[in-house]
Amino acid sequence: MPRFKLTVAYDGTHFHGWQKQHPPDAVPLRTAQGVLEEAVRAVVRQPINVFGASRTDSGVHACGQVAAFDADIPVPIERLPAAITARLPDDIQVLQAEVVPDAFNVIGDVEAKGYRYSIAHGRKESCTRPLFDRHWTAWTAWPLDIELMRQAARDVVGRHDFAAFTRVNHARESTIREVHACEVTASHDARLHIDVSGEGFLWNMVRIIAGTLVEIGAGRRAVDSIPATLASGDRAQAGATFPPEGLCLEWIRYGEPGCGRQKQLARQRHGEA
C-alpha cells in the first residue's frame, strides 16, 4: 500500500493543537490531526490513520506541518491536495502531496524544524498592540532592546541540555537537543521576529526560549544569563512560557527515508536516548 506525505498549513487559533485528543467521557477536542484525518478518510474511503511530524500546542500555527498516511487513493496524486482541502474547514489546507518510500518515517526521519515567533512590543502608542493580526502576533507591553536579544540568542545555539527550557513533567527520556540557529530580527517599528531551528524541540521549548529572550530584551534578565540557566537544568531559572499567538511552525526538513533509526542508535551510543 503506498505511503503519502502531505504538507499542511493551518491557523491554530481554534484548534486544541495538532494531536488528536479524546478526553474520557467527553467529546473529542477539535485538533488539526483529527480534522485532517476525517477529510483524508472521506477522500480515500478507507479507515486510515494520519500521523504528523510535530505536536504543535493549542493556538500555534503551521505553514509547513508534515503528515503521512498509507492508502490506495482513488484520485491522481496531483489532485489529492485539492480533494482533501475541499473536505476541510477554512482554517486548514493541504498544500502539497507526494508519494514517499515505505521506509519514510514522518517523525523519525526529521533532520530539522524551523519556527518563527512574530512579536509586537511596547505601549507608547495604542496601535502597537495587535488587532487584526492578534492571533498571529504575540504582544508584550515592554519595549524591547533587539540588540540585547540578538546577543543572548547566540547562547541558545548548539547542543545543550534544555531541561530548564521545557515543562517540568515533559516525559522525555532525554532533554538534550541541538539548536542550529536562533535569530532575532526587526520587521518594522515595534515588531520583531524570533526564528529558531533545530533537530527537534521539547514541550514548550520554543515558547520558553522566546519568553526568556523577551525578558532579556526588556532588561528584566541579564543578557549573559542563558549559559547559567542551561547549566542549572531548573525550569524556574528560565523565563516565562510565551503565549502561543505569534508562533508558527514554518518548515520541516527530512533526511533519507529510514535515517531516523541510524540517528536513534547514534544518540543511544552517546547516552542521549
Q: Which residues are catalytic?
A: 57
- Chain length of the chain: 273
Helix (H) or strand (E) holding 230: helix 226-232
Half-sphere exposure of 196 (CA within 13 A, CB side): 31
How many whole angstroms separate alpha carbon 205 and alpha carbon 200? 10
Ramachandran angles phi, psi of 144, nearest 5°: -110, 140
How many whole angstroms separate alpha carbon 264 and alpha carbon 110? 12
Number of H helices, E strands in the chain: 6, 10
Would you say 61 and 247 are in contact if contact means Cβ atoms under 8 Å apart? yes
